[in-house]
C-alpha cells in the first residue's frame, strides 16, 4: 500500500522573511525526499481545518487572535515566530492535513502518511504561539483520536522538546507522549522527571540527550525504552513529530544523527504494525532534510539500516539508564541493563 503524501502550495506562501531558518524552501526539500524514497507515493492536497477542529486543543480566543493578526498584515508573534496574511490559510491546512490523513487511515486507504506541512506545530501552546509554531498540528490529530476513546502515541524526534504537545496531554491517560531531544536546549523543558500528572502519570516519557549524541544512543533508546513502552501501551495510531534538526548538518542544534538513523527509527515503529502519520516539524539544512525524509519513508516501508557504530558521549548512554530508572515503575517492559 502506497504511503500518502499531503502538501499544498499554501505552505510556500507562509513567508517568514529573509534569513529565517523555517523558510519556504524547506517544503520543496521535504517533497523531493518524499518522492525519491524508492517507491511510489499517493499525493493529496491538504484541506483546510475548521475552527472547531482547532478548538479541541486551542482556546477559541487565541484562534481568533491569530486569525485577526494575520488579516491585519501579520508580523512577529515572538522573537522567533512570524506570520503574514497567507499564514492563516497555511496554518489551517497544516492542521487539516493531519485530520485528512487520519480519515484516510481510518478508511483503510493507507497505513502510512507523510505530511509535508508548515508552519510546524509542536511548540504551540493552548493559547500561545512560539518556536515557529502557530497551531499544534500533531496535538489536534491526537485529540481527535483520544476524543473517540482510542489510545494514541506521539513520538517526537525533533531535536527540540515539544513543550506544547506535552503540556496539552500531561494529565491524559489516552495519549502517550515520548520525546527524544537535546537537553539543555530550547525551550528548556523535557527533563526526564517530567512524566505526567494525575491520570496521565507515566504517560509522558522524556529522553534528554547531551550535545554530541549520535545514532548509537538513539538506537539504544528505541530498543530499551521506545519500542517496549509502545508495545505495552498498545496505541491504535502512532503520530510522529518528525523534525530533522537532530541531523549532524543542521545549523540550529548539536546532535549528530544521519539520514540512516531516521530510517532505523521509522523501521522500528513499522515493526509494531500500527498505522503511522508523520508530521514535518523542524529540519533546516535542506540536503539533510531531503535525505532524511526519504530515509524515513524507506524505514516506514520496513527497510532498516545497518546498525550505527558507537560514537555518542558517555553521558548519552547514562541518560538512557536514568530514564529507565525513572519510568520503570510505570512500564513493566522497561528494565535496567
Catalytic residue positions? 123
DSSP β-bridge partners for residue 112: 276
330, with CB counted inside 10 A (0-12, 13-18, 19+), is: middle
Cβ neighbour number for residue 62 with a 10 Å cutoff: 19
Contact by Cβ (8 Å): 164, 204:
no
* Angstrom distances, CA of residue 177 to CA of 78, 222, 259: 26, 14, 23
On whether the CB atoms of residues 179 and 190 are closer than 8 A, the answer is yes
Closest CA to 160 of 113, 214, 108, 123: 123
Give the C-alpha separation, 82 to 76, whole Å. Answer: 5
Amino acid at each position: 500500500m502506497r504511503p500518502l503524501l499531503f502538501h499544498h502550495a499554501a505552505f510556500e506562501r507562509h513567508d517568514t522573511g529573509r534569513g529565517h531558518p523555517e523558510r519556504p524552501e524547506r517544503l520543496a526539500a521535504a517533497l523531493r525526499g518524499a518522492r525519491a524514497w524508492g517507491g511510489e507515493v499517493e499525493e493529496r492536497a491538504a484541506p483546510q481545518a475548521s475552527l472547531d477542529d482547532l478548538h479541541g486543543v486551542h482556546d477559541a480566543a487565541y484562534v481568533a487572535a491569530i486569525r485577526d493578526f494575520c488579516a491585519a498584515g501579520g508580523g512577529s508573534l515572538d522573537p522567533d515566530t512570524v506570520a503574514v496574511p497567507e499564514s492563516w490559510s497555511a496554518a489551517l491546512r497544516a492542521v487539516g492535513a493531519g485530520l485528512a490523513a487520519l480519515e484516510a487511515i481510518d478508511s483503510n486507504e493507507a497505513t502510512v502518511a507523510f505530511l509535508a506541512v508548515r508552519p510546524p506545530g509542536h511548540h504551540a501552546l493552548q493559547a500561545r504561539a512560539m518556536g515557529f509554531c502557530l497551531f499544534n498540528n500533531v496535538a489536534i490529530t491526537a485529540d481527535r483520536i483520544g476524543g473517540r476513546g482510542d489510545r494514541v502515541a506521539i513520538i517526537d524526534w525533533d531535536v527540540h522538546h515539544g513543550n506544547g504537545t506535552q503540556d496539552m496531554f500531561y494529565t491524559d491517560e489516552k495519549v502517550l507522549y515520548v520525546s527524544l531531544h537535546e537537553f539543555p536546549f530550547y525551550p528548556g523543558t523535557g527533563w526526564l522527571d517530567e512524566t505526567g500528572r494525575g491520570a496521565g502519570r507515566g504517560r509522558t516519557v522524556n529522553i534528554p540527550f547531551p550535545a554530541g549524541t549520535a545514532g548509537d544512543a538513539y538506537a539504544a533508546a528505541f530498543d530499551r525504552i521506545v519500542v517496549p513502552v509502545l508495545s505495552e501501551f498498545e496505541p491504535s495510531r502512532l503520530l510522529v513529530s518528525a523534525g530533522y534538526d537532530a541531523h549532524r548538518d543542521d545549523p540550529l542544534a548539536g546532535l549528530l544523527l544521519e539520514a540512516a538513523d531516521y530510517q532505523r527509527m521509522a523501521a522500528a515503529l513499522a515493526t509494531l504494525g500500527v498505522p503511522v502519520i508523520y508530521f514535518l516539524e523542524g529540519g533546516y539544512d535542506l540536503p539533510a532534510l531531503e535525505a532524511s525524509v526519504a530515509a524515513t519513508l524507506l524505514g516506514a516501508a520496513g527497510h532498516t539500516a545497518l546498525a550505527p557504530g558507537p560514537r555518542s558521549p558517555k553521558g548519552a548512554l547514562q541518560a538512557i539508564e536514568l530514564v529507565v530508572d525513572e519510568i520503570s515503575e510505570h512500564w513493566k517492559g522497561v528494565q535496567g541493563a
